[in-house]
Amino acid sequence: MKTKKQIEDWCARAGLSQESRYTDRGVDILMADGFVPADKVPLMSHFGVESKDFPHGLYLTVGWLMKNEEDFSFGTAQYKCRMHNFGMDNEAKKRLRLKEMKQEVSHIVDRAEELLHA
């Protein structure tokens, strides 16, 4: 299991910043976002991402679901090419990425509740 500190350290090495932390139905959610330059893309190899997939770097948004500070439960990631949503300014793009991640995390929490009560 990963701790919150280990997750934060990994995010920092990948160039991500913590964007929000909140609780959804008893599950702590940590969201991070940032641009990962091409030379750091290999840090995501355990997610199945390779440098050739994003030769100019990528935007990475992650959502970590935790039971508490010391018990990482589940993580999800979204990758966007450097030119995603062309025409939007950087702040609008970031808001969009975080909104999409929050929706994805909410669906995961929904599904977890369904499984727990089945």
For the chain, the domains span 4-116
Q: Are 54 and 75 in contact (CB under 8 A)?
A: no
Per this entry, what is the length of the chain? 118
For 7-41, write each residue's pLDDT tens digit. Answer: 788 788 877 899 998 988 888 888 999 998 888 77
Residue 8, pLDDT score:
80
Indicate if the pLDDT at residue 102 is higher than 90. yes
